[in-house]
A and B are shown apart, each in its own frame.
Chain A
Amino acid sequence: MKTQRSRFLTDYGMVVVLLLLCVFFSVVTYTEQSATGVAAVGQVAGAIRAGERVLVVGGQTTGDVAFLAELERQLRAGGVEVMEVVSGGPREARKTLERAMSEGKELDGVACSELAGRWLIFENVGQAFPGLSGVRVVKPQRSRFPSFLKADNLLNIANQIAVIAIVAIGMTMVIVAGGIDLSVGSLIALSAVLVSVLIRDYGGGAEAGTWQLVGCSLVAVLLCGCFGGFSGLMVTRFDIPPFIVTLGMMLVGSGLAYLLADGQSISAMPDAFVWLGRGADLVGLPNAVVLMFGLYGVAHVVMNHTQLGRYLYAVGGNREAAILSGIPLKRVVLVTYLASALLAGLGGVIMASQLKSGSPTYGTMYELYVIAAVVVGGSSLSGGKGRMFGTLIGALTIAVIQNGMNLTNVESYTQKVVLGLVILGAVLLDKVRK
């Protein structure tokens, strides 16, 4: 029982670290939040008495438009005289107030949405408009809730890490089999450029249909796969260290991306292309995140319940023994580089979709983030050890730390230091475990 528990902690220690980080960031981002939606309407409407004349102000966001409509309805139902409803920016609000003053209209209050309540014009109406010093500004009340735990933010984290996490699947396979792949960052850029060039030149640009988009994406991913196949061949046939081979491919891939794109970013693509990177069809989950979890499910099965998975661990754990027991070592190693390149290609397509354009500058340093995710997730760089689930946790840990630091106003330089320390800590843990 005891052994089992300590084994669980060793295997899933990172989960606990991740949870602790989440708790930590929840505490430090526990801050004032304005009520939104129905609760906010009730609050604001409740603070205004029947018979008063009010101006209703909000922004143009979908949330605010709905808020204004509902607020106007409730106010009118409560016998409040709604002078006008303004949906726009502070400029429109000021113009309306100025007009009301010049027409000599009497005003008792202004009812704001959360967004409009933050505009400086409503900070002190009496100061901005001396004639309106008696006017009350009613804003939604503030309650306290951690920004970190807002549903929007949690989806944000998953969405931000999707590309790195997907590429890290391939990297885990490579690393478990005892290799390393430095070319993934460049392949992300190459794939993003390839897919945008293909759409622009052969898919019909901004008028491309769904099948053209799918076709172009597949071709881009497969072409990246060819690069992986080539790396794999160099490693297995000629026995060149994978570090050197993939370093070379990193330069080749990056250079080709710049050549193909002519150093520019390419954005001639239809709106439909952003479906993959920015759509959210399944119960509000972003499509890229759904894809990420799906791929992790598949990868988990491959690593733990198939022959290929067992071969990977065997090859990485003890090369000689693997050869002696008849495992087709070369083929297994080749497959890992192929998988890594294909997934990097997919990552590039997702990134192009998220940003609705392809540029050779994408993916810079991503190979290092990907390797960091794998290592933080408990895989050993000497091969033979590592789990898909761990890599996912590693990627999420990196994302949580980055997001948390952005939320707590830690500036760029310090963010790098902290991330570096986290990676060092993970490798240290790896050593201690041995």
Chain B
Amino acid sequence: MEMDKGRGLSYNGGMKGFFGWTLGVLAAVTLVSCGEKGGSEGGARGTIAVSLLTLENPFFKIIGDHLAAEAKAQGFEALIVSADKDMAKQGNQVKDFIVKGVDAIVLSPCDPKSVVPVIQEANAAGIPVFTVDIPCPDPEAKIVTQIATDNYGGGREAGMAMIEVLGKSGGKVAILHLKQAQSCILRVKGFREVIDAFNVKGGPKIELVMEIDGGGARDIGYRAAEDALQAHPDLRGIFAINDPSALGARAALEKANKADQIAIIGFDGMKEGKVAIKEGKMYADPIQFPDRMGVEIVKAFVKWSLGEEVAPEILIPTQLYRKADGEKDPDLK
């Protein structure tokens, strides 16, 4: 009995602790299982399972909430989980969905490359896969449709907003980019095209003097805007590809006492961004509609399941949000 050496010597209380523990775990699990589920059989017509990149970001939370509401209205049940940006976790969630025999799987992939084998597993089980916000362009993964913001159109709207401000006077404009993100490349493309078309018309020119990395984040946007001001003290406008970098740029302008000279156009329509627009700190935002994305996914699934034609990509248009919209916005009161 050599092997007994390392183990505990006292067995007092073992039984009691063991049963207490068992009861505790079972009670906890029973409680949540019964409290949460609407019956494990799902909705009357089936289950739509959703694994989102994260639920910490309100953008995805809104997608999930509206998807669940629309699913319920159509007689389905939605199972929404967060992958917490962990690809392995997302993979396991999809495996569980497949075993559960759900009717559709909706993903915003944690990684467009690593998600391919995961989607292939769902394909092999004959379950339709939809992606939202983040696409998976690999042809080996079969996806019914990808639903996202029309970033190119949004970029064009941002360009038009810049013309509203600088159209009469012209001036130098800097772009705070995030080149790693395909969505941001499209935003800048649309923006540039509108400005270039405007300049061809003659009259005062809007010059795109620099394009620097704003990191899509407040701190990097702040530093980038400071650098832009050093290079071009007579800057008149900044287009930032999202709200955090736009707000970072605004802070840099305030520090340099140039807030009135330079107009900022952001992108997103996060609450902070909307507040800044209402207070006149930013000129405008093309805003995204995560709520519509959630609803469109369910509609696309129903269409698919009825055998109707579903476009391989569904783009949700953005809408320009200016100070006047902020003053009317009930969410900001």
Binding site for B on A (CB under 8 A): 3, 6-7, 9-11, 13, 16-17, 20-21, 24, 28-33, 59-62, 64, 89-95, 97, 115, 118-121, 123, 128, 147, 150, 152-153, 156, 159-160, 163, 176, 265, 267, 274, 278, 304-305, 310, 312-314, 316-317, 351, 354-357, 359, 361-365, 380, 384-387, 401-415, 417-418, 421-422, 425-426, 428-429, 432-434
Contacts and interface: CB of A to CB of B under 8 A. Distances in A.
Interface residues of B, number: 74
A224 B29 CA distance: 37
Contacts of B14: 6-7, 9-10, 13, 432-433
B249 interface: no
B91 A429 contact: no
Nearest to A366: B88
Contacts of A30: 40
B38 interface: yes
Given A16-B22, A115-B126, A120 B95 contact: no
B81 A406 contact: yes
A402 B22 CA distance: 17
B17 A355 contact: no
B11 A407 contact: no
A160 B110 CA distance: 18
20 contacts: A7-B11, A21-B26, A24-B29, A28-B34, A29-B40, A32-B41, A64-B126, A91-B304, A92-B307, A118-B103, A355-B88, A355-B118, A357-B111, A362-B86, A364-B85, A387-B7, A404-B29, A409-B37, A410-B37, A432-B20
A434 B14 CA distance: 9
B245 interface: no
B191 to A, nearest CB: 26
B314 interface: no
A94 B306 contact: yes
Interface string B1-29: 01101111011011111101110111011
A123 B44 CA distance: 12
Interface centre among A365, A385, A426, A429 (most CB of B within 10 A): A429
B5 A314 contact: yes
Interface string B63-103: 00000000000000101111011111001110111011101
Contacts of A21: 25-26, 29
Interface string B37-52: 1101110011100000
Nearest to A432: B17
Contacts of B62: none
Given A89-B304, A356-B117, A418 B100 contact: no
B169 interface: no
B304 A425 contact: no
B327 to A, nearest CB: 35
Contact of B88 (A9, A92, A354): A354
A187 to B, nearest CB: 15
Contacts of B32: 405, 410, 414, 417-418
B307 A119 contact: yes
A317 B307 contact: no
Chain A contact surface mostly: helix
Given A267-B113, A356-B116, A418-B28, A406 B96 contact: yes
B331 interface: no
B304 A90 contact: yes
Interface of B: 2-3, 5-8, 10-11, 13-18, 20-22, 24-26, 28-30, 32-34, 36-38, 40-42, 45-47, 55, 77, 79-82, 84-88, 91-93, 95-97, 99-101, 103, 110-111, 113-114, 116-118, 124-126, 128, 302, 304-309
A62 B36 contact: no
Contact of A355 (B13, B114, B308): B114
B21 A267 contact: no
A385 B8 contact: yes
A354 B7 CA distance: 36
Contacts of B97: 406
Given A10-B11, A278-B117, A357-B111, A409 B86 contact: no
Contacts of B37: 28, 408-410
Nearest to B301: A120
A176 B6 CA distance: 9
Given A24-B26, A90-B305, A385-B7, A118 B40 contact: no
Nearest to B64: A411
A343 B97 CA distance: 29
A414 B22 contact: no
B91 A61 contact: no
B312 to A, nearest CB: 12
B117 A355 contact: yes
B126 A60 contact: yes
Interface centre among B84, B96, B110 (most CB of A within 10 A): B96
A354 B111 contact: no
A90 B307 contact: yes
B307 A418 contact: no
Contacts of A153: 99
A119 B307 CA distance: 8
A363 B45 CA distance: 37
Contacts of B45: 120, 123
A407 B8 contact: no
